[in-house]
Amino acid sequence: MTALAELPAEDAITYNDGGGKVRPALHPVTGRTNVPAFVAGLMPWYPLQAARLIEANGEPAIWTVIGGLRQLVTFGILNPDKLSGLDPASTA
């Protein structure tokens, strides 16, 4: 989480879709501080079982298993050097 907290830009936005399985945020979460705080706030409710940095549709993404649900988290990252500190082979 510490490494991810350093990635968002000041104008970062996260959109949520529960897919009928979980309750999503009702509104987009915005801001460099609020986006990581929102994700961190979900962790007690949805335990992270696995995570791996991957590429999806030619863009950086994180494949996760959270609370038994497989998820794909995608990003719009303008500076790919921001991902240089993350190990794509690691799992959590």
41-92 pLDDT, tens digit per residue, is 888 887 889 988 888 888 888 888 988 888 888 876 666 676 566 555 554 4
Tens-place pLDDT, residues 7-45: 777 888 888 777 777 777 889 999 888 888 888 888 888
Helix residue ranges per DSSP H, 1-92: 2-5, 34-42
pTM of the model: 0.58
- Both tokens of 7, joined, read 């990635």
Residue keyed to tokens 């079982």: 49
The DSSP output letter for 10 is T
Sign of torsion, CA 35 59 2 84?
Answer: negative
Strand partners, 72: 63
Distance CA 77, CA 68 (A): 27
